[in-house]
Amino acid sequence: MKIEDKEYSFEPVPQEKRNNFWKMLVVMLGFSFYSASMWAGGSLGEGLTFAQMIGVVMLGNLILGAFTGSLAYIAARTGLSTHLLAQYSFGQKGAYISSFMLSITQIGWFGVGLGMFAYPVHKVTGMPLVPLIVISGILMTSTAFFGMKALTIISFVAVPSIAILGSFSAGKAITDMGGVEQLFAYTPETSLGIAAALTITIGSFISGGTLTPDFTRYAKNSRHAVSTTVIAFFLGNTLMFLFGAIGVIATGHNDISDVMISQGIILPAIFVLGLNIWTTNDNSLYASALGFATMFKRPKVMMVLINGTISTVFALFLYNHFTTWLTFLGSTLPAIGSIIIVDYFFLKKRQYIAYGKAKIKDVNMAAVIAWAAGVIAGLTLPGVSSLNSLLVTGISYFILVKVMKTTTVTENIEEEEIIYEQVV
């Protein structure tokens, strides 16, 4: 049985289909230009001085860059998505855990994103809410349907637009409050601890960052994959945090669209908000479709349509009720990335058997147990929850594999006997 899927949901991306540095950079920047990061930046601005905020954001992005950069390297070397990489450690069916958790989270974020766009536009223009959501959902789903090519085109338009308009708005906010000196002289009314600030900074994007391989598998080489990923997080994510922090310090709003509306530039605000959410939502829908395509052995394009429809139909519910659930899911996802990193770098020593020649057992209990331990650590231990999850998971997985002497993947010498749906 063959499945037609041009997005390589079931096999490595061929070298001739890989993208150059600049195409990968705009895709990754579009991924990291994320509205929630502006909200997170606003939260930091409410509890830290501007100098403290910059230090926390730099440290947080250093950790995010190391995490996502490691995953980007693995993806470029293997050409595999997050979901196929997880099979090397979790097992072919054990990876359903990671694929389901990753995919359902992204479906939720797509619906939340629709609400984040529709509510402000409804408020400003008076346009009916439900038609706004439906039309936005159809448009965003349609571009995700066409895969990486459409994501690249949208990002080429969105990234510079968001950067230019966001910078203009931030500059105006700084001018209105009396200059850079006043910005650095700002003292928050409430105090936010460094551990809590790092939790916000890292936690705002580490769940999405776990899906980095879904995009960087298209990089021509590992150097392009790592550099574009690290640049995107240090540049894109840092800008989003700065926009949010400056906005809340100068105007009391931590969302750039609200800041721009208060500045009297309503149309650019709608434009920026739409593009910002569009790029993130398309990446979310693309990643969720890859996960379910791997689980259900169906083409990615089919899963895009199904997931986009579900997210659009339930967008209002997701926006109003899904935040707590997404927060919980966010604490479960970094553990998956930690296992992939430890398995590739420390256990397999960067030597994976080629996916087409790999014989993968169904379930590796060492990975399942380590993942569960990491989730519990992230939810219960004091300190930075994401780091707790990463460290406990990685250490537990390494020890369990050594103690249990588990072997998840062996080489299938008789290639002609491999039973697996191939991409055409």
Q: Which long-range contacts (CB under 8 A, 24 or more apart) does 264-269 make?
A: 265/169, 266/124, 268/165, 269/120, 269/124
| pLDDT tops 70 at residue 405 | yes
Supply 4's token pair: 């037609």
Q: In the structure, what pLDDT confidence band is assigned to residue 329 with cuts at 50, 70 and 90?
A: low
Collapsing DSSP to helix, strand or coil, 411 comes out as strand
> For residue 110, what are the contacts with CB-CB under 8 A and spacing of at least 6?
140, 281, 284, 285, 288, 307, 308, 311
- Helix, strand or coil for residue 2? strand
What per-residue confidence (pLDDT) applies to 307?
92
Q: For residues 76 and 164, which has the higher predicted lDDT (pLDDT)?
A: 76
Strands 2-3 and 409-411: unpaired
Per-residue model confidence (pLDDT) at position 417: 44
What whole-number distance in Å separates Cα of residue 104 and Cα of residue 390?
21
CA 209 from chain center: how many Å? 4
Tell me what the mean pLDDT of segment 119-148 comes to. Answer: 88
Which tens digit of pLDDT belongs to each residue from 280-316? 888 888 889 989 988 988 888 889 999 999 999 988 8
Backbone torsions φ then ψ of 188, nearest 5 degrees: -70, 150
Structure confidence at residue 215 (pLDDT)? 94
Segment 85-101, tens digit of pLDDT: 999 999 999 999 999 98
Sorted by sequence, the CB contacts under 8 Å of residue 350 that are 6+ apart come out as 77, 344
Considering only CA atoms, which of 385, 384, 387, 392 is closest in space to residue 194? 384
**Under 8 Å between Cβ of 358 and 418:** no
Distance CA(230)–CA(79), nearest Å, equals 19
Tokens 């997210």 label which residue?
Answer: 311
Percent of the chain with pLDDT over 90: 47
Query: Buried (b) or exposed (e) across 32-60, using 16+ Cβ within 10 A?
Result: bbbbbbbbbbbbbbbbbbbebbbebbeeb
Position 397 scores a pLDDT of: 98
Q: DSSP state, 282?
A: H
Beta bridge partners of 359: 410
Which residue bears the tokens 């776990």? 210
Task: Transcribe 152-186 into DSSP letters.
Answer: HHHHHHHHHHHHHHHHHHHHHHHHHTT-HHHHHH-
pTM of the complete model? 0.89
State the pLDDT at residue 17. Answer: 92
